[in-house]
Chain A
Amino acid sequence: MKLPRLLASLLCAAPLLPAAETTAPKSDAAPPAAALAGDSTETYDTLYNHLTVERHGTLVELRARSRRGVFLESAVDLADPLNLQVAYTRTLFAAAYFQSKPARVLMLGLGGAGFHRLFAASYPAAVLQTVELDPKVFELCQTALGFQPTARTPVTLVDGRMFVKRDPATYDWIILDAFRGGYVPPHLKTEEFYRECAARLTDQGVFVSNLDDETALYFSDVRTIQAVFAQVVLFYPEKGNVIAFAVKYQTPVITDPAKWPAEASLNPRFKGKLDLAEVRAQHVPVPEAQVRTAAVLTDDFAPVEFLNVIKANNAEEKP
């Protein structure tokens, strides 16, 4: 009788674990003074990541280790947090070319919340809902990287796919940036998941995904996005990152940069903080030849870990 009692106790104790947490909105606070001083390195082992926080003067970098090395997740200059330090976070704003008036944005993956601060400053009426799996990332964002969530930038600590499946809201931008080091979990890479995201997009909404272009997984990523969305546009901000923008509609055509709106007409609040003309120049064509032969990733067939170790063979003509 002892074993059944023990099992019953364990099962009864399980519901006592804390429930889902959506952060209470707080005021926008300045980073703590202590965080501004001196250089230091701190490491943290969490349920999901091995994280490193490096401080170089007012610059704070959040890094995550994976089997392929240590990856820079985010960097924030605490003295000038609206000056985005990581190139691809600036590229994410190219979503404005395709949906220039976002009222609701969903971001899967918090990182160091560098994007969040410029977004909140640029779109003061919009809501940016973030979903983050690792509570330690959220904690470090607040304690080390100076991010304070507000009513317009709430953060929910859950798995991104579980959130998308249950959240009834629709969004103008959905941004997928859920890396663990250099690796995105397979269940966030599949055709079924992208269809769940598409169902949460408004008709004119844009789906944005941060892709690693250095392995064969990149071609399957693009092919899988193409399997769900009618049009896909790629930007190449820096080595190791390609940002894909995808929409559900066939017309108007978004694949011709000449038809994109002029930067000056998009958002005057970008002025002095974000050079969208620089971002426009990052546009690159889809590598059709490799994508055509790549496999579509599904819940039933997603060899993500294996494609992620095969070097992409288009290094010379990248991307």
Chain B
Amino acid sequence: MISVVFYTLVVVLGILSMGFQMLASRLLSPHYGSSIVEWVWLISTFLAAFSTGSLLGGWISNRPPAQRGLLQGIAATLGVASLAVTAFWQKPMLDWIELKFIPDVAQMNDQGSGGMNAAVFLSCMALFFVPVTTLSSFGPQCVGWLAARGTPPGKASGVVYAVSTFGNIAGVMMTVFVLIPNFRVSHLLDVWLGVALVSLTGLICILRSAPKPAAK
């Protein structure tokens, strides 16, 4: 039973991560248009967050149990808090960044001037980097949890990566073909926040559970 819940939560984290990227593009386009330049910064930010989160999660998973539990709690709190910032304050933040870096027409052009690049980059970092980094940090910890329960490390890594990527695909498809056509983006961000709160709480409970005793 715990395995079913565990894998479900890994899928949910995958959905949250990549579905969030689709929502992010909708948040940016009223401010910066919907050009390939905007996508460059958006995709790069998410990949940087995946990379940083993996490094962070790998480090956390090797901490002593007491310290690991504390760090998991901090990561989850940071993830939920940063998602709340995105959900509730994205509009004033984007308005401020946009006008600060691109105050007039002379600061823009089609492929992005320095001001345009800086504005999109800063917007992506401020709104999307921390939530995705913290969500990604749980991937290596899930691998560690499986390995501690007797799954060979290579297999544990492969399974978690595969299940998480399945969640990524489901997140993109569901967000683009079902959610965005039917719901307001602001409401979807509220849902993302609620689901992240519940799923990270559940995952931390599982990760803190005692490993199965080794077979004799």
Q: Which residues of A contact B (CB under 8 A)?
A: 11, 14-22, 47-48, 133-135, 156-159, 161-163, 166-167, 185-187, 190, 192-193, 298-303, 306
Does B35 lie within 8 Å of A301, measured CB to CB?
Answer: no
Task: Tell which of B99-107, B134-142, B205-213 binds the partner.
Answer: B99-107
> Which of B33, B102, B110: most chain A Cβ within 10 A?
B110
Does B30 lie within 8 Å of A187, measured CB to CB?
Answer: yes
- Note all chain A residues with C-beta closer than 8 A to B71: none
Given A19-B106, A300-B184, check contact A187 B113 (CB 8 Å): no
Q: Decide if the interface of chain B is mainly helix, strand, loop or mixed.
A: helix
Q: Decide if the interface of chain A is mainly helix, strand, loop or mixed.
A: loop
B 103-136 binary contact with A (CB < 8 Å = 1; else 0): 1111111111111011001000000000000000
Is B2 an interface position by the 8 A CB rule? no
Least CB distance, A191 to chain B, in whole angstroms: 11
- Note all chain A residues with C-beta closer than 8 A to B8: none
Least CB distance, B93 to chain A, in whole angstroms: 14
* In-complex Cβ contact of B29 among A14, A15, A187 (8 A): A187
Does B186 lie within 8 Å of A162, measured CB to CB?
Answer: no
New A-B contacts (6) at CB < 8 Å, excluding given A161-B30, A303-B181: A47-B37, A133-B35, A158-B108, A159-B33, A185-B33, A185-B34
Given A19-B113, A300-B184, check contact A162 B106 (CB 8 Å): no
Given A15-B114, A17-B111, A18-B111, check contact A187 B106 (CB 8 Å): no
Does A19 lie within 8 Å of B107, measured CB to CB?
Answer: yes
Is B70 an interface position by the 8 A CB rule? no
Chain B contact patch, size range = 20 to 34
Q: Which residues of B contact A (CB under 8 A)?
A: 26, 29-30, 32-37, 102-115, 117-118, 121, 180-186
Given A166-B104, A301-B185, check contact A187 B110 (CB 8 Å): no
Given A163-B105, A300-B185, A303-B181, check contact A18 B113 (CB 8 Å): yes
Does B117 lie within 8 Å of A300, measured CB to CB?
Answer: no
**Could you name 22 residue pairs across A and B whose Cβ atoms are closer than 8 Å?**
A14-B117, A15-B118, A17-B114, A19-B106, A20-B106, A20-B107, A47-B111, A133-B110, A158-B109, A159-B32, A161-B30, A162-B33, A162-B105, A162-B108, A186-B34, A187-B30, A299-B30, A300-B185, A301-B183, A301-B185, A302-B26, A306-B181
Least CB distance, A240 to chain B, in whole angstroms: 23
Does A300 lie within 8 Å of B186, measured CB to CB?
Answer: yes
Does A187 lie within 8 Å of B34, measured CB to CB?
Answer: yes
Considering the complex of A and B, which 10 residue pairs feature the smallest CB-CB distances, nearest first? A15-B114, A159-B33, A14-B117, A303-B181, A20-B109, A306-B181, A187-B29, A299-B30, A301-B184, A300-B184
Least CB distance, A267 to chain B, in whole angstroms: 30
- Note all chain A residues with C-beta closer than 8 A to B110: 47, 133-135, 157-159
* In-complex Cβ contact of A19 among B32, B109, B121 (8 A): B109
Does A162 lie within 8 Å of B113, measured CB to CB?
Answer: no
